[in-house]
Structure 1
């Protein structure tokens, strides 16, 4: 009872001074400090994004004060988010995947062929996701069981799948003129009060992946494998299975992204997914996931995707020519990586 009374009694001015001198902090301050430290990479990326948008708004407020420019970015942003988020897992696991552009194209090709054959778009979407899952497993098998470098194996698979698509289709696209009247289109690719509905699905995917990464056993296993595979194996983790699952998850995300891209454009192109390689890689690293594995941030990757998506739109809308886009891409990427490198505890 005395202890409870002492805790409830207001601290004197002398006591408060002593607490300051001894470094004592209120528990809420500790929680806030710990929260900031845990999410410092994502917060750093957010700061870069806010500074960049402030510059764009100051350069051309008339454009950036209208909803149309944000609506255009939100229309295509989900496609990149569906790919960036799984790639954060892959990089955290100590691997890299450069095959996702071709997996996007191949999976969305499956979707387009089935819709063109008058299958229900829901069935076509399921088939596309299954295709991405199988391709992801094949890539993972090459890396894990065949012992190939993930860099070389995924790059080779990217060329192989893209070449197969081009050989069969001879560069011809597939128009999906009836897709707009289907319930699947209204659910996954319409608008609600002027906001593209696909952004809500993408945000839901980010939330799911964040919980999987931070609160689920799989996320803990991925971090352990990426940090030290030998130690992870001694802890009882099936390292090979975890590594294969990384590429399977990557294939599923690429399939969803490719399918959404096709639904947005009502057309499938043999080059579907090609333009996402460098922006997606940049988004992962700008978001604060380092290249050495073991650590990463899903939320930071999502913010990095938003940052990269606004660079091209912002540069042109600010009145600069398109020649400045690559310059600002490189500048933002380098500044973000330097900031994250300094911000990581192991580099302090």
Structure 2
């Protein structure tokens, strides 16, 4: 004879008496919000740092920071950094580092400049630049993965090698590309729409697609597993070497796009193209909440980190301080952000 189960009675809080006796009832939206905050705590922490920093700058000089011109100037050059920061999140998550991207930017943009200077369509130049970046990324990745070299040393060496090659062939001479202003490529990729630089929309699309690739695609999951434990990834059937090469190829593609955009912004290719992005881009990755030990990272956080770093120099000067303070604030923001992210990581706690 089966025992009759006594039905749960509805509690005044909206749950059953059994639930109310065990724990406090929570609205489903509370659980969703809590999960969202926990899953994105690194990016939200970076956003908080950015908001506080902008508030300080706003108080220091409200006149400058309430004018659109300042933000327009930052949005013009910010996409160049974003195209490199986002792929570097994949590399660092995979447990590697890539210091060759500045020279890859210069080399790929040089190929773009040569194609345009020869009279060909700029779209063909863009395709040639991306192909060059892909090839250089594969070369760097092969040196690290199949050559067994340290990614730090190998990529640093490639950075010097490629930059030296550029300087030797061009003898330090730049290339003016004034014809770009009348091309469809410039109008599509580097003009303005209602006063907003068009390139920022392309950069945002790149960040969104990369975030989906990192969080929702098999490749992103493989990158995280490889960065966390390569041996376990191998036992799970993941081709660890292929994944590691792919992240370097992705950096090469991003660096090529960044270099091409920088040329279209200035209508000039310089042999030093990309040189000034090494430290700001690396700072953006780590300020954004991607730790150095691999296995975890945040694409959105890296993008917010790039915005933060981009506004530091502009904000310091606009606030009325000397340019000598820029490096000080760069270091201060980086150290405070890293300390905050270290405490905020689940592993650390």
- Fold-level match, TM-score > 0.5? yes
Output the TM-score relative to the length of structure 1: 0.96
User: Hey, what's the Cα distance between the residues in 2 that align with 1:330 and 1:60?
Assistant: 22
- Aligned twin of 2:3: none
Q: For residue 222 of structure 2, what is the aligned residue in structure 1?
A: 221
Separation in structure 2 between the aligned mates of residue 328 and residue 316 of structure 1, nearest angstrom: 11
Instruction: Tell me the residue number matched to 1:261.
Output: 262
> Residues 1-348 of structure 1 correspond to what in structure 2 (within 5 A)?
11-12=12-13, 19=20, 22-348=23-349
Structure 1 125/326 Cα, relative in aligned 2: closer, same or farther at 3 Å? same
TM-score by length of 2: 0.95
Mind listing any 5+ residue stretches in structure 1 that lack a counterpart? none
> Aligned-pair RMSD on alpha carbons?
1.9
For residue 290 of structure 1, report the CA deviation from its aligned partner. Answer: 0.2
> 1:189 Cα shift?
0.2
Listed as ranges, the gaps of 5+ residues in structure 2 are 1-6
8 Å contact 1:283–1:308 — kept in the other structure?
yes
Report how far residue 285 of structure 1 moved: 0.1
Measured after TM superposition, the shift of residue 16 of structure 1 is: 8.9
The answer to whether the 8 A contact 1:19-1:25 is kept is no
- Cα displacement string for residues 197-243 of structure 1 (whole angstroms, at most 9, x for unaligned residues): 00000000000000000000000000000000000000000000000
Cα deviation 1:75-124 (Å, max 9, x = unaligned): 00000000000000000000000000000000000000000000100000
> Structure 1 residues 18, 108: CA separation in 2 closer, same or farther (over 3 Å shift)?
same
Q: Size of the alignment, in residue pairs?
A: 344
Give the deviation of 1:177 after TM superposition: 1.0
**Distance (whole Å) between structure 2 residues aligned to residue 28 and residue 195 of structure 1:** 36
